[in-house]
A = this chain, B = another copy of it.
């Protein structure tokens, strides 16, 4: 039987990672102006309007929303597995807590390096971006859930955060694509990265008995879905929430608004939501079993349906609406702003959006395959097939306490050696 050797390996990896982070943060990371020590001083002499310009108050509530979603929403959503609730929530914390630090560094090197002193300047916006980066790792986590050890998850996160920063840099800075909702950078990349990893780690004799849900764990996950739908994602699908996403998109200054008066005006958002939710539902029913049987992709949470295909639809819609943008609706200046301040014809921008989608898909698939092979190295304490989807390998699962309801059976045969009180009592049924 395989040893996951959690008792020393995980704490060692965590301590090492954290010490490395402290050193790297010491060398490279400083607060930006808004978090600077001088700020209290200026605050004294200015009224609250200056705080507004400081921009902190505006971004704070959305930071809270994103941050809570990252730390709880994802793991909560995965608690549907009957015996893997601790792993779903706990390893979610692990990925988020360690991933966000590495993401701050990687995104800092690519995006917010101050040329004057060679330091990364971080503020609230950096944290929001790092949260989004971690979101892609949590999406991949959904594909491999229950089948990898926490050390494997940390290795996966390390590489995935790095690739995310590369992918983001290519899409936004090199190709000049717009992706405010993160359809391509977060969802397509994260989903296909995770699917590639789980494909490489294919377990032909995977014990399915633990991979089941029960009533309360399903309810947990259902409520979490509602929170996300209602809150963080605010629901593209089928309830007019498209308007809100549209607004958020515009607020972020994105070219998705291209079609605001054309295809994606209200009913356009409803149509896209209708298609995406239909595709996603049909995917769960028909595609997931086929993926497992023929492509050997064991997608625990169905991230292909939740993130992969909807992400691709989002990318395609973005390309179409960019290509269909007109100066009449947007004005020349507006179009230019929507196209990352590059002088491009709408059809050219549409092409670049399409190319960005392909790049994100490719980096996800190739990167995930390579990382999958790295995770196969016999160093990271991967669980045996029979320990998959089971918290008991990693967590001290509470023993069932003394039963509170008894069944008394009038006679236990005299010569029986059964320990009756132990053997026949019910466990409490909470």
Shortest beta-carbon distance, A151 to chain B, in Å?
17
18 contacts between A and B (CB under 8 A): A31-B265, A37-B260, A39-B257, A41-B334, A43-B337, A49-B53, A61-B64, A64-B234, A76-B226, A86-B219, A104-B240, A127-B244, A214-B401, A405-B429, A410-B420, A411-B414, A429-B429, A430-B430
Asked whether B48 lies within 8 Å of A49 as measured between CB atoms, the reply is no
The 8 Å CB contact of A29, one of B26, B63, B266, is: B266
A409 located at the interface, meaning its Cβ lies under 8 Å from any Cβ of chain B in the complex: yes
B-contacting 9-mer, from A94-102, A164-172, A183-191, A306-314: A94-102
- B residues less than 8 Å from A202 (CB atoms): none
A303 located at the interface, meaning its Cβ lies under 8 Å from any Cβ of chain B in the complex: no
Asked whether B68 lies within 8 Å of A230 as measured between CB atoms, the reply is yes
Given the complex of chains A and B, what is the CA–CA distance between A239 and B67 in angstroms? 11
Asked whether A52 lies within 8 Å of B41 as measured between CB atoms, the reply is no
The 8 Å CB contact of A22, one of B218, B219, B274, B331, is: B274
A258 located at the interface, meaning its Cβ lies under 8 Å from any Cβ of chain B in the complex: yes
Known A37-B329, A123-B247, A226-B93: A416·B411 in contact at CB below 8 Å: yes
Q: Interface size (A, Cβ < 8 Å)?
A: 143
Asked whether A70 lies within 8 Å of B405 as measured between CB atoms, the reply is no
Given the complex of chains A and B, what is the CA–CA distance between A404 and B392 in angstroms? 12
Question: Which A63-97 residues sit within 8 Å CB-CB of chain B?
Answer: 63-65, 67-68, 70-72, 75-76, 79, 82, 85-86, 89-90, 92-93, 96-97
Given the complex of chains A and B, what is the CA–CA distance between A216 and B397 in angstroms? 10
Asked whether A35 lies within 8 Å of B420 as measured between CB atoms, the reply is no
Given the complex of chains A and B, what is the CA–CA distance between A79 and B220 in angstroms? 11
The 8 Å CB contact of A57, one of B58, B223, B402, B418, is: B58
Given the complex of chains A and B, what is the CA–CA distance between A213 and B426 in angstroms? 17
The 8 Å CB contact of A266, one of B25, B215, B334, is: B25
Asked whether A40 lies within 8 Å of B413 as measured between CB atoms, the reply is no
* CB-based nearest B residue for A45: B333
**List of 9 A-B pairs having minimum Cβ-Cβ separation, nearest first:** A71-B230, A41-B334, A403-B425, A37-B260, A97-B239, A26-B267, A405-B426, A427-B429, A408-B420
A60 located at the interface, meaning its Cβ lies under 8 Å from any Cβ of chain B in the complex: yes
Known A22-B271, A209-B402: A239·B98 in contact at CB below 8 Å: yes
- B residues less than 8 Å from A215 (CB atoms): 85, 397-398, 430
- B residues less than 8 Å from A126 (CB atoms): 243
Given the complex of chains A and B, what is the CA–CA distance between A16 and B338 in angstroms? 36
Known A267-B25, A416-B410: A223·B30 in contact at CB below 8 Å: no
- B residues less than 8 Å from A260 (CB atoms): 31, 35-37
The 8 Å CB contact of A35, one of B234, B250, B413, is: B250
Known A60-B61, A427-B426: A401·B209 in contact at CB below 8 Å: yes
Shortest beta-carbon distance, A8 to chain B, in Å?
15
A379 located at the interface, meaning its Cβ lies under 8 Å from any Cβ of chain B in the complex: no
1/0 per residue A314-349: CB within 8 Å of B? Answer: 000000000000000111011001100000000000
- B residues less than 8 Å from A416 (CB atoms): 409-411
